A and B are shown apart, each in its own frame.
Chain A
Amino acid sequence: MFTRNELIAPVLGIACALALAISLPAAATATPAAEAVQEIAAGLEGAVTKAAGEVAATAEQAVPDAGVAAPAPVPVAAATAEEAKSSSTAEAAKQIHKTKHWSWEYTNPDTGQKLGKKNVINNFCTSVTSNHSFCSACHIGYGWADDSFDFSSEANVDCIVCHDTTGTYKKLPGLSGHPNYETMEWPPHSGRFRPPTDLKKIAQNVGPTSRKTCGTCHFYGGGGDAVKHGDLDSSLTNPGRYLDVHMDSEGLNFSCSRCHVTDEHEVSGSRYGVTAADEKGVLVPGSLDPRNPTTCVACHGNTPHPDKAAKLNDHTRKLACQTCHIPAYARSTLQTKMSWDWSTAGKLDEQGHRIQLKNSAGKVVYDSKKGNFTYDRYVVPEYQWFNGEVKFTLFGDQVSEDSVVKINEFQGDANDPDARIWPVRVFRGKQMYDKGLQTLAVLHTAGKDDAAFWGNYDWDKAMEVGMRAAGSEYSGELGFVSTEMSWPVTHMVSPKEDALDCESCHTDGGRLAGIEGIYLPARDRMPLIDTIGFGIALLALIGVLIHGGIRVILAKREG
């Protein structure tokens, strides 16, 4: 009764364990984590058994939904099989070195823009540059404190952050990608203390990635739960069906990697290289086709609706699946951040202390470190044409206060065959720019030195250090520009019964009110034709009523 998936499971377990055993000893000089290596070796057997069980369980839950073409478990199995094979020959760390998760760099092949977390300035915490020791809490490595980090070191690869199954492994901001090896007050000044990370227990419990492991970073981006993505937050650790029909923990229970299929540890489906439309339809599992497997279409095809709803299939030429099937994002109790205004940051109380103000839901709406925030949940996305190409405003690109700066701009229009109408989360902000250089600024926010803004609240000092780290000299003139950053909304897929109704768009002032280049019935009409048409109809009606009225009066008179 064993399926191919279940047989592969122990192999994956061994692979993970081997990868750990290989990479960690080498890290002995770099990290106390290595001290756990002996114990890890002892715990290998347990880890393998546990991991095997986990994968088998996942495979069992992989019963495909009726009507859904080509179930995904096979590509996952294929990928893991390959991974297992190569990992067992000690390739894992080398594979990791080639990934975006490691390099935080991505060069867009179409625009040539150098992107990735390392290069992009966003409108949340703004930039990694000069703030590595904090930002690298979400780097899959150990020790990225500054530019001297050795990206070629296999010892610096952190396997555990993705493969921990205990949920106890936590890399803390300020530790350059390390967890705490000793008791540490966390959050700072909270009076609460985190015990040392139990590496032995963790090593005995490595396993496949899960929503929880991916979520340790991706649910908390931007400085907290639900802040950054809007469609990714900790409510997806164990979501109900209403929140995400695929990840439903009591239903399909998809892990992230069911869609974000990995190949040699590179995770597919990146928002730096979006597949906005895939006209080729279903991507057959095992296929050597290099298409992106992380799309709705890869499993569902381009005509996923049943014949009785065939009209809906006509829509896939113009709409992304997400447009109807994700009617709102942040659909849990968690509020997502909607805007961030840095220009008010730095105000202190009379004693010179940091101020934090909270709203009725307990969310911080003002923080001296960061400025003002607004929040929302059940957020209706904005909609726009998107062909997968994104143009960023990068450090050095000219910006001014005269117009809203698009941190990233989705490309495409109605005439572009690769473009679809996508739901978009637009995050609005006001952030630092160097008025003299007319470029988005790199601010040295975090660090234990006397220039970091979050400790000293001195704009000019923090700007000087940040801008220099980015390779420029601060002009001395700080300004604030309004910015917008766009995020494709693609998680939190509703069950079909919650998908948008036709009249959400087929009406005046509906969701697609601002979409140009298409004729949308019930939204669009030629007003002149309506005026003439109804005008003549009305005149005809008045005419027959008068005519009939005269006949009635005459008939009455005649008795």
Chain B
Amino acid sequence: MERIYIFKRFERFWHWTQALLIITMMITGFEIHGTYSNLGFETAVEVHTIAAWALITLWVFAIFWHFTTGEWKQYIPTMDKVEAMFRYYLTGIFTHAEHPFRQTTLHKHNPLQRLAYLFVKLLINPLIWASGFLYLFYTSWESWGLGWLNLEWIATIHVIAAFMMLIFFIAHIYLATTGHKPMSHIKAMITGWEEID
């Protein structure tokens, strides 16, 4: 068995902190949305807001990190082997077929991951961030010249983005178990070292 060092220390810190914050925000967010009662509306709003600022701070560092290390290149989309990836998840995985993608330090994400993460970073995150920011400061809209905005639209966009995040989250957690062994990817995300075939 071979092990390669895939995830550097900052990347792991970023991933797990982000995971914690996003889970927190989903739990509190759907309470603010009125889906259930848990912490109480006031606490939910407070926690959600604090987590939002923490996440934004984290993103600032993460964006800086991506550009200074050149790691952003990991997310350049490719359609190469995407079909093979789908086929692998639909059938190959059950028959011990060979994984169509081989991880290296320079290509740590498979083509499906690349697309999914790019989608998260370029669509879900900005959508959630922008709508959340406007939601938080809706009393300032008029002074910003945005008086034509409507809280219902903004809240709805925020909720749609949240659903997208929830769906990504479910798929992401499951696919994390599809490595060499069920825990391979997860261990890699903790230690940095990935077991590969």
Considering only residues 493-519 of chain A, those with a C-beta below 8 Å from chain B are 501-503, 506-508, 518-519
Interface Cβ pair total, 8 Å cutoff: 79
A529–B35 alpha-carbon span in the complex (Å): 12
Choice from A525, A534, A551 contacting B93 with Cβ under 8 Å: A551
Inter-chain contacts of B45 with A (CB < 8 A) = 311, 502
Is there contact, CB below 8 Å, between B94 and A551?
A: yes
Instruction: Please count how many residues in chain B sit with their CB below 8 Å of the partner chain's CB atoms.
Output: 30
Instruction: Decide if A540 is an interface residue (CB 8 Å cutoff).
Output: yes
Instruction: Decide if B139 is an interface residue (CB 8 Å cutoff).
Output: yes
Known contacts A314-B139, A508-B34: A540-B41 contact under CB 8 Å: no
A370–B174 alpha-carbon span in the complex (Å): 73
Is there contact, CB below 8 Å, between B159 and A525?
A: yes
Is there contact, CB below 8 Å, between A529 and B174?
A: no
Query: How distant is A310 from chain B, measured CB to nearest CB, in Å?
Result: 10
Interface centre among B31, B152, B162 (most CB of A within 10 A): B152
Query: Which listed segment binds B: A26-34, A154-162, A541-549?
Result: A541-549
A547–B175 alpha-carbon span in the complex (Å): 10
Inter-chain contacts of B52 with A (CB < 8 A) = none
A540–B170 alpha-carbon span in the complex (Å): 7
A314–B140 alpha-carbon span in the complex (Å): 10
Starting from the known contacts A502-B41, A530-B159, A548-B174, 4 additional A-B residue pairs (CB-CB under 8 Å) come to: A314-B139, A537-B167, A541-B170, A544-B170
Say what secondary structure dominates the interface of chain A.
helix
Choice from A521, A537, A554 contacting B33 with Cβ under 8 Å: A521
Is there contact, CB below 8 Å, between A529 and B156?
A: yes
A146–B31 alpha-carbon span in the complex (Å): 63
Known contacts A501-B42, A548-B177: A522-B163 contact under CB 8 Å: no
Is there contact, CB below 8 Å, between A507 and B167?
A: no
28 chain-A/chain-B pairs, Cβ below 8 angstroms: A314-B139, A502-B41, A502-B42, A502-B45, A503-B41, A506-B32, A507-B34, A508-B34, A519-B155, A521-B32, A521-B34, A522-B31, A522-B32, A523-B34, A529-B159, A529-B163, A532-B163, A533-B160, A534-B163, A536-B167, A537-B163, A537-B166, A537-B167, A544-B171, A547-B174, A550-B94, A551-B93, A551-B94
Instruction: Decide if A401 is an interface residue (CB 8 Å cutoff).
Output: no
Instruction: Decide if B151 is an interface residue (CB 8 Å cutoff).
Output: yes
Inter-chain contacts of A288 with B (CB < 8 A) = none
Instruction: Decide if B40 is an interface residue (CB 8 Å cutoff).
Output: yes
Is there contact, CB below 8 Å, between A503 and B40?
A: yes
| Residues in chain A within 8 A of chain B (CB atoms) | 311, 314, 317, 501-503, 506-508, 518-519, 521-526, 529-530, 532-534, 536-537, 540-541, 544, 547-548, 550-551, 554
Is there contact, CB below 8 Å, between A519 and B152?
A: yes
Instruction: Decide if B191 is an interface residue (CB 8 Å cutoff).
Output: no
A466–B170 alpha-carbon span in the complex (Å): 76
| Residues in chain B within 8 A of chain A (CB atoms) | 31-35, 37, 40-42, 45, 89, 93-94, 138-139, 150-152, 155-156, 159-160, 162-163, 166-167, 170-171, 174, 177
Inter-chain contacts of B35 with A (CB < 8 A) = 530
Known contacts A503-B37, A521-B155, A522-B32: A537-B42 contact under CB 8 Å: no
A554–B97 alpha-carbon span in the complex (Å): 14
Shortest 4 CB-CB contacts between residues of A and residues of B: A533-B163, A522-B34, A544-B174, A502-B41
Inter-chain contacts of A311 with B (CB < 8 A) = 45
Inter-chain contacts of B166 with A (CB < 8 A) = 533, 537
A532–B89 alpha-carbon span in the complex (Å): 25
Is there contact, CB below 8 Å, between A536 and B151?
A: no
A519–B138 alpha-carbon span in the complex (Å): 11
Choice from B41, B139, B152, B170 contacting A537 with Cβ under 8 Å: B170
Inter-chain contacts of B162 with A (CB < 8 A) = 533
Is there contact, CB below 8 Å, between B93 and A506?
A: no
Is there contact, CB below 8 Å, between B40 and A502?
A: yes
Inter-chain contacts of A502 with B (CB < 8 A) = 40-42, 45
A523–B177 alpha-carbon span in the complex (Å): 38
Query: How distant is B41 from chain A, measured CB to nearest CB, in Å?
Result: 4
Query: How distant is A27 from chain B, measured CB to nearest CB, in Å?
Result: 57
Interface centre among B37, B40, B170, B174 (most CB of A within 10 A): B170
